[in-house]
Each structure stands twice: as C-alpha cells, then as structure tokens.
Amino acid sequence: MTLSKTILVASLWFGLSASTAIAQTTTLSADVAKDWKAQREVMMRIADAMPEDKFGFKATPPQRSWGEQVLHVAGGNLFLMRYLNGRTPAPPVKTTDMNTFGLKASTKAEYLKVLADSFDYGDALLNEFSDAALAETVKGPPWMGPSTRARMVYDAISHCQDIYGQMAVYLRLNGIVPPASLRGGV
C-alpha cells in the first residue's frame, strides 16, 4: 500500500472511530434509567417463571416463600428508592416487616402487579432527576448513610440481583430453568 493510501485509510478509520464515539456518548441519568429498566425486565421474567401453584414454595422452612420473595423485591424497591427524595409520592411500606414490607398479594397476577408497580415508582422517580441531581448526596438508610442518588439506585438494583440469585435456586429446585439461563445468561 502506498503512503497516500495508508494515510487515507488511517484518516477514514480515525474519522469513523471519532464519530462512533460521539454517537455512543450517554449521560448518567440515561445509564441509570437503562439499568433500572433492564433490572425490571429480569425480575419480571423470573417472577413470572414460577407456576402460580408454586408461589407458596419455600426452599427450606425458615426461608421466604416464592411469593414472599417477589413482595420482598417490590418492597425493597419502594423502600430504597424513596431515599431519592423525589416529588413522586412513595407508596407506603412497613419498615417493621422487612420480609414483605407489609405488601400483600394472593394470586400470581397480583404478585406481578405489585412488582411492576414498584418498578413504575422507580421509573417515575428517575424521570425527575438530571445527571447533576443523581450526583447529589441524600440521606440513605442507616447502613449506607449519606449517599448519592445514583448509589441509592444501584443499591436497589444490587438488592434485586441478590434476591434474583435466591429465586433462581427456587426455580431449579422445582425443575425450572431460570429465564436468563435459557438465553445464555443475564
């Protein structure tokens, strides 16, 4: 290849790389909202994977039932996301009941609605905050102390992932492959 062709190819490559990098820029608020929506999809799929007649299943007697796990995730979302201090009113939860946060359901459809509603609350809150607002410090729960709003959101996501791992075991104990494993991973 001649020197002029090499320079032309290199210039095109750098130009395309720069335009791709510019096109791929995002914001903190967009990333946080994207991750929250992805977590919603993962949790809704796993909650829906268990047949309704197994919502009372417990891996061992002292553990939460499947349905209680779903309510625990929903309650955890509501509890943790309220620390963002947004304008959207926080649905009530009972902090004296960290198993289900006082949330109730009796059918699979009701459990899934409670879970979806908890993610809807998070969506509404996240729509309120700019990048700068997500970087602001708020008073978190006692075990976290002062934290940025972004950290609070990722703590809620982390909590979901923790319970997801437990729920995957519940499914496998019932001969069901978790949805994320069906498509090759989360």
Q: Average pLDDT in the 106-119 region?
A: 98
The reply to whether 8 falls in a domain is no
Q: Quick one: average pLDDT of 28-44?
A: 97
Domain, as residue range, for 45 = 27-182
6 belongs to a structural domain: no
Instruction: Establish how many alpha carbons lie within 13 A of residue 110's alpha carbon, considering only the half-sphere containing its beta carbon.
Output: 8
| Radius of gyration, alpha carbons of the chain | 21
In a domain, 86, yes or no: yes
Q: Looking at residue 12, what is its pLDDT?
A: 40
On whether residue 161 sits in a domain, the answer given is yes
Average pLDDT, the chain: 90
Query: Residue 133 and residue 150: Cα distance in Å, rounded?
Result: 9
Number of other residues whose CB lies within 10 A of the CB of residue 54: 17
14-34 pLDDT per residue, tens = 454 554 455 567 999 999 999
Q: Is 144 helix (H, G, I), strand (E, B) or coil?
A: coil
pTM for this prediction: 0.85
**Is 9 inside a domain boundary?**
no
pLDDT value for 184: 62
The tokens for 9 are: 């190819």
Give, to the nearest 10 degrees, the angle between helix 149-173 and helix 66-81. 180
Q: Is residue 83 part of a domain?
A: yes
Is residue 72 one of the residues assigned to a domain? yes
CB 119 within 8 A of CB 36: yes
The CATH number of residue 96's host domain is: 1.20.120.450
The number of folded domains in the chain is 1
- pLDDT for 132 beyond 50: yes
Q: Is residue 129 part of a domain?
A: yes
Take residue 69 and report the two structure tokens written for it.
């796990």
Distances in Å between the alpha carbon of 75 and those of 106, 114, 143? 16, 9, 17
DSSP H or E run through 139? strand 137-139
pLDDT for res 80: 97
